[in-house]
Chain A
Amino acid sequence: MVVGGGVAGVQAALDLTELGYYVYLVEKSAAVGGAMAQLDKTFPTNDCSL
Chain B
Amino acid sequence: MVDQYNEGLAVTRPIHIDYPQAVPASYFIDPSACLHLKHGTCKICEPVCRSHAIDFSQQPVERDLHVGAVIMAPGFGKVPDEALAKYGYGKHPDVVTSIEFERLLNPSGPFKGEVRCISDKRHPHKIAFIQCVGSRDIGCDNGYCSSVCCMYAIKEAMVAKEHDPDCEITIFYMDMRTQGKDFDAARIRAEEQFGIKFVRARVADVMPWGKQLKLTYSTLAGGHHFEPFDMVVLSIGLDAPKSAGELAKIADFELNKYDFCKTGSFAPLQTTRPGVFVAGAFQGPKDIPESVTQSSAAAGIASAMIKLQRGAGVVHKAYPDEQAVAEEDEVRIGVFVCRCGINISGTVDVPAVVDSAGHMENVVFFSDSLYSCSQDAQEVIKDKIKKHRLNRIVMAACSPRTHEPLFQETLKDAGLNRSLFEMVNIRDQCSWVHANEPEEATNKSRDLVRMGVAKARLIRPLPEQTVPVTPQALIIGGGVAGLTAAENLANQGFQCHLVEKQEKLGGHALRTQETILGENTSAMLQELISRVEKHEKIEVLTGAELVAVNGFVGNFSSVVKTSRGKNENEVTIDHGVIIIATGGREHRPDLYLLGQAKKVVTQQELESQLAGKAKDRAPDSVVMIQCAGSRGEDLKYCSKICCNAAVKNALKIKEINPASQVIVLYRDMRTYGYAEDAYQLAREKGVVFIPYEVDRKPRVEKKGNRVNVNFFDPILQEDVSIAPELIALSVGIVPEDTDSLSKLLKIPVNENKFYLEAHVKLRPVELAVAGVYVCGLAHSPKPLDEIIVQAQAAAAKASMPLVKGYVAVEPIVSVIDKEMCIGCGICSSRCPSFAISMGGFTREQIGAQIKAFGEI
Chain A residues packing against B (C-beta within 8 Å): 1-12, 15-22, 24, 28, 30-48, 50
Q: Is B398 interfacial (CB-CB < 8 Å)?
A: yes
A-B pair number, CB within 8 angstroms: 180
**Stretch from B66-74, B498-506, B523-531 at the A interface:** B66-74
Binary contact readout B287-322 vs A (1 if CB under 8 angstroms, 0 otherwise): 111011011101110110010011111110000000
A48 touches B343 (CB 8 A): yes
List residues 170-216 of chain B with CB under 8 A from any CB of chain A.
180-183, 186
Known contacts A8-B282, A21-B303, then 19 further A-B pairs from the complex at CB < 8 Å, ordered by chain A residue: A1-B71, A2-B73, A3-B71, A3-B72, A7-B280, A8-B75, A8-B295, A9-B71, A12-B73, A19-B303, A19-B310, A19-B799, A19-B800, A20-B303, A20-B311, A36-B288, A40-B106, A44-B151, A44-B180
Partner of A33, one of B22, B102, B182: B22
A11 touches B72 (CB 8 A): no
Looking across the interface, which residue of chain B has its beta carbon closest to that of A5? Answer: B73
Q: Is B373 interfacial (CB-CB < 8 Å)?
A: yes
Looking across the interface, which residue of chain A has its beta carbon closest to that of B241? Answer: A4
Binary contact readout B147-158 vs A (1 if CB under 8 angstroms, 0 otherwise): 000011011100
A40 touches B159 (CB 8 A): yes
Query: Which residues of A sit under 8 angstroms from B19, Cβ to Cβ?
Result: 37, 50
Bound CA span A12–B152, Å = 24
Partner of B154, one of A41, A42, A43: A43
A4 touches B75 (CB 8 A): yes
Looking across the interface, which residue of chain A has its beta carbon closest to that of B101? Answer: A40
Q: Is B856 interfacial (CB-CB < 8 Å)?
A: no
Known: A8-B73, A35-B76, A37-B18. A1 touches B310 (CB 8 A): no
Query: Which residues of A sit under 8 angstroms from B182, Cβ to Cβ?
Result: 44
B299 touches A12 (CB 8 A): yes
Looking across the interface, which residue of chain B has its beta carbon closest to that of A18? Answer: B800
Query: Which residues of A sit under 8 angstroms from B156, Cβ to Cβ?
Result: 40
Q: Is B60 interfacial (CB-CB < 8 Å)?
A: no
Known: A37-B19, A41-B155, A47-B402. A20 touches B310 (CB 8 A): yes
A20 touches B314 (CB 8 A): yes
Bound CA span A6–B554, Å = 32
B73 touches A6 (CB 8 A): yes
Query: Which residues of B sit under 8 angstroms from A41, Cβ to Cβ?
Result: 105, 155, 159
* Most central of B21, B26, B75, B402 by chain A CB within 10 Å: B75
Q: Is B594 interfacial (CB-CB < 8 Å)?
A: no
Query: Which residues of B sit under 8 angstroms from A42, Cβ to Cβ?
Result: 155, 288, 761
Binary contact readout B6-42 vs A (1 if CB under 8 angstroms, 0 otherwise): 0100000000011101111010100000000000000
A8 touches B294 (CB 8 A): yes
* Most central of A9, A34, A41 by chain B CB within 10 Å: A9
B186 touches A44 (CB 8 A): yes
Chain B residues packing against A (C-beta within 8 Å): 5, 7, 17-19, 21-24, 26, 28, 65, 67-76, 99, 102-103, 105-106, 109, 151-152, 154-156, 159, 180-183, 186, 241, 243, 247, 279-282, 287-289, 291-292, 294-296, 298-300, 302-303, 306, 309-315, 340, 343, 373, 398-399, 402, 759-761, 796-797, 799-800, 803-804
Query: Which residues of A sit under 8 angstroms from B399, Cβ to Cβ?
Result: 47
Rounded to whole Å, the gap between the CB of A27 and the closest CB of chain B is 10
A45 touches B72 (CB 8 A): no
A–B pairs, 18, beta carbons within 8 Å: A1-B69, A1-B71, A2-B71, A8-B292, A8-B294, A9-B73, A15-B296, A15-B300, A18-B804, A21-B302, A30-B18, A34-B75, A35-B281, A37-B18, A41-B159, A43-B186, A44-B761, A48-B398
Bound CA span A1–B67, Å = 6
Bound CA span A29–B333, Å = 39
Bound CA span A46–B373, Å = 18
B310 touches A4 (CB 8 A): no
Bound CA span A11–B280, Å = 10
Bound CA span A47–B67, Å = 36
Query: Which residues of B sit under 8 angstroms from A4, Cβ to Cβ?
Result: 72-75, 241, 280, 282
Looking across the interface, which residue of chain B has its beta carbon closest to that of A24? Answer: B65
Bound CA span A11–B292, Å = 6
Known: A1-B67, A37-B19. A21 touches B152 (CB 8 A): no
Looking across the interface, which residue of chain B has its beta carbon closest to that of A42? Answer: B288
B298 touches A12 (CB 8 A): yes
Bound CA span A18–B805, Å = 12
Rounded to whole Å, the gap between the CB of B120 and the closest CB of chain A is 23
Partner of B18, one of A20, A21, A31, A47: A31
Query: Which residues of A sit under 8 angstroms from B759, Cβ to Cβ?
Result: 45
B74 touches A11 (CB 8 A): no
A19 touches B803 (CB 8 A): yes
Looking across the interface, which residue of chain B has its beta carbon closest to that of A9? Answer: B73
A22 touches B65 (CB 8 A): no
Rounded to whole Å, the gap between the CB of A18 and the closest CB of chain B is 5
Query: Which residues of B sit under 8 angstroms from A34, Cβ to Cβ?
Result: 75
A21 touches B70 (CB 8 A): no
Bound CA span A5–B24, Å = 12
B5 touches A38 (CB 8 A): yes
A16 touches B303 (CB 8 A): yes
* Most central of A32, A33, A40, A43 by chain B CB within 10 Å: A43
Rounded to whole Å, the gap between the CB of A49 and the closest CB of chain B is 8
Rounded to whole Å, the gap between the CB of A11 and the closest CB of chain B is 4
Query: Which residues of A sit under 8 angstroms from B28, Cβ to Cβ?
Result: 30
Query: Which residues of B sit under 8 angstroms from A31, Cβ to Cβ?
Result: 17-18, 22-24
Partner of B289, one of A35, A38, A44, A48: A44
Known: A43-B154, A44-B760. A1 touches B299 (CB 8 A): no
Query: Which residues of B sit under 8 angstroms from A40, Cβ to Cβ?
Result: 102-103, 105-106, 109, 156, 159
Bound CA span A42–B99, Å = 12
A21 touches B800 (CB 8 A): no
Query: Which residues of B sit under 8 angstroms from A12, Cβ to Cβ?
Result: 71, 73, 279, 295-296, 298-299
Query: Which residues of A sit under 8 angstroms from B311, Cβ to Cβ?
Result: 20-21
Query: Which residues of A sit under 8 angstroms from B22, Cβ to Cβ?
Result: 30-31, 33, 37
Bound CA span A31–B310, Å = 28
A8 touches B281 (CB 8 A): yes
Rounded to whole Å, the gap between the CB of A35 and the closest CB of chain B is 6
Looking across the interface, which residue of chain A has its beta carbon closest to that of B5? Answer: A38
Rounded to whole Å, the gap between the CB of B616 and the closest CB of chain A is 45
Bound CA span A21–B64, Å = 18
Looking across the interface, which residue of chain A has its beta carbon closest to that of B77? Answer: A35
B300 touches A7 (CB 8 A): no
